[in-house]
Amino acid sequence: MKAFITLLFLIFSLQNFAQNISGQAYYQSKNALDFDVSDTKSQLSEDVKKTILDGMKSMLENTFILTFNKEESIYREEEKLDANPAYAGMKMMMGSFMPGPMYKNLKTGKMLEENEFFGKQFLVTDTIQKLDWKLEKESKQIGQYVVFKATAIKKIDPNDFLMARPKKKDSSANEAKDEKEKNADNKKNEIPDPMDMIEIPEEIEITAWYTPQIPVSNGPGEYGGLPGLIMELSFYKTTILCSKIVMNPKAAEKIEAPKKGKEVSREEYTKIVKEKTEELRENFRNMGGRRGSGF
């Protein structure tokens, strides 16, 4: 109860300070990777399997910078040198599903996102999604900031491949697998469909930790809507943690709405991704079916 009273006091006392606030927040994004490549039927060597796992881990651990003021922000991945050229192909493939620089205008509720999808540039227009946050009384310390807990449930688009994770093993799945293996004598060399090994949840629970000491209703990526900057975010095996904040920096990226790419709505872009993914999946099936013919 004491922490919650402190929260209310901070919100009230910092309202005037918020009018001219600006800053940069650095976030480390990490994903728990529990994908067992050994479960696949492909004839991959152990070295190749390790390369795949290391590459996926490298792709999923990134640093992002949120440059913000009271009403606007731009969120982009920090540029870094590719330490392992062996992951170049995988990075190009996964990069097609990774969002680019994201601009948010809290006053208008508008969001713009630059995306490059298989060599084509798109400017995705959207509205900032408003989550039904539940403010909790629990608090803790992150660096010099007091943060408070908030939770919400978010519906997931079935074509949001950023939320894809390996399918969980269960008894029914194992029974189906055994049955399939009994009738697979003529398919020993068939390459497995990667889409059969992943799943996308219908909804996820989001836990955020925000600080009223930085009274901007913003946070990493598309997230915000709380009475303070989000310092930590966790959902579906992903954790995004703020590692550094620079308030009122003298030299910072100018916050401007992106303009690069063909302008499409979120619905239109989702349709494009779905159709292209189905095309790639079909090509993969055909390639697997002709493995013996040299494809």
List pLDDT tens digits, range 84-123: 555 554 455 555 557 789 999 999 999 999 998 888 999 9
How many other C-beta atoms lie within 10 A of the C-beta of residue 248?
A: 11
Is pLDDT at 171 greater than 50 in this prediction?
no
Specify the pLDDT at position 85.
54
Specify the pLDDT at position 33.
59
pLDDT in tens, 4-54: 565 555 555 555 555 679 999 999 998 765 555 555 445 556 666 566 566
User: Cβ distance 152 to 134 under 8 Å?
Assistant: yes
3-state secondary structure of 133: coil
Q: What is the DSSP string of 146-187?
A: EEEEEEEEEE--TT-GGG-EEPPP-HHHHHHHHHHHHT-GGG
Confidence of residue 262 (pLDDT cuts 50, 70, 90): very high
Confidence of residue 292 (pLDDT cuts 50, 70, 90): very low
pLDDT in tens, 191-236: 555 556 667 777 889 999 999 999 999 999 999 999 999 999 998 8
Is pLDDT at 273 greater than 80 in this prediction?
yes
**Alpha-carbon torsion, ordered 118, 92, 30, 235, to 10 deg:** 20
CA dihedral for 80, 96, 222, 105, sign (positive or negative): positive
Q: How far apart are CA 221 and CA 163, in angstroms?
A: 14
pLDDT in tens, 123-132: 999 999 999 9
Confidence of residue 79 (pLDDT cuts 50, 70, 90): confident
DSSP 193: P
What average pLDDT score do residues 242-253 get?
88
Specify the pLDDT at position 62.
85
The answer, as to whether pTM is greater than 0.85, is no
Specify the pLDDT at position 286.
73
What percentage of the chain exceeds 90 in pLDDT?
42
Of 82 and 209, the structure prediction assigns the larger pLDDT to 209
Tell me the H-state helices in 183-226. none
pLDDT in tens, 132-163: 999 999 999 999 999 999 999 998 777 666 66
Burial 11-28 (b: 16+ CB within 10 A, else e): eeebeeebeebbbbbebe
Of 107 and 237, the structure prediction assigns the larger pLDDT to 107
Specify the pLDDT at position 57.
59
